[in-house]
Amino acid sequence: MRKYFVTLGRLASNVIDFFYPPFRKYVTLQFFRYGFTGVVNVGFSIVLYFVVYNYVLHQQMLPLGLFTLSSHIAALAISFPFSNFFGFLLQKYVTFTESDLRGATQLYRYFLIVFINLGINAVVLKIFVDGFHFWTTPSQIIATLFCVLVSYFSQKKFTFKNPKKSQTAI
């Protein structure tokens, strides 16, 4: 299975790299791949959410015994793990391919960063909307841009760090 993901990752990298030359002056190849795969993952996430909300849940509440989830929250709860696991695979096999850390360690760290960014997003949104009385959508855009930067450096230096590379740099 790993060979399959490595092969698909190389193929995806080649396709992404084709679009890189006009951006070469502005960002590194790794950051460009990160952004490209991030856009792909967001697209996948939206499509998956739409399918779950409309065709799995049929826009109906989800009764779970002691409580019931609204359809939009249930769709998020169902689609979130899948879209984030897909994002992990893209980052592991397309963006940060040099890491020698075990896959389970990377996956744990990846989801840790995802949840930290979720918290950061909520805090930044709260500050801008409730504290500064700024419009909601521009506030979310600012929060997202901030989270993209935090996420990129966290994934690069923590989740997918290359222990051999960091040892030789000292």
Q: For residue range 111-150, what is the model confidence (pLDDT) as tens digits? A: 999 999 888 888 888 898 889 998 887 888 888 888 889 9
Alpha carbon 161 to its chain centroid, in Å, reads: 17
- Residue 164: per-residue pLDDT: 65
For tokens 């990160």, the residue is 34
Q: Where are the alpha helices (DSSP H) in 52-102?
A: 71-90
Mean pLDDT of the chain: 88
Same domain for 106 and 159, yes or no, is: yes
Burial status of residue 93 (CB atoms within 10 A of its CB: 0-12, 13-18, 19 or more) = buried
Same domain for 12 and 59, yes or no, is: yes
Q: What is the pLDDT of residues 35-51, one digit of tens each?
A: 999 999 988 988 998 99
Same domain for 26 and 90, yes or no, is: yes
The Cα–Cα gap between 153 and 112 comes to 14
Same domain for 106 and 168, yes or no, is: yes
Same domain for 61 and 26, yes or no, is: yes
Same domain for 37 and 73, yes or no, is: yes
Same domain for 90 and 110, yes or no, is: no
Six-digit token string for 14:
């080649």
Out of 14-18, 53-57, 76-80, which region has the weakest mean confidence (pLDDT)?
Answer: 76-80
Please report, rounded to a whole number, the percentage of residues in the chain having pLDDT higher than 70.
95
Six-digit token string for 135:
């419009």
| Host domain of residue 75 | 1-97
Give the end of a domain, one of 38, 73, 97: 97
- Residue 165: per-residue pLDDT: 59
Six-digit token string for 117:
């960014």
Same domain for 14 and 89, yes or no, is: yes
Out of 8-12, 28-32, 62-66, 166-170, which region has the weakest mean confidence (pLDDT)?
Answer: 166-170
Six-digit token string for 144:
């997202």
Same domain for 31 and 82, yes or no, is: yes
For the chain, the domain total comes to 2
Same domain for 144 and 91, yes or no, is: no
For tokens 């960002």, the residue is 27
- Residue 1: per-residue pLDDT: 77
62, 139, 164 from 37: Cα distances, Å: 32, 23, 25
Give the end of a domain, one of 46, 68, 97: 97
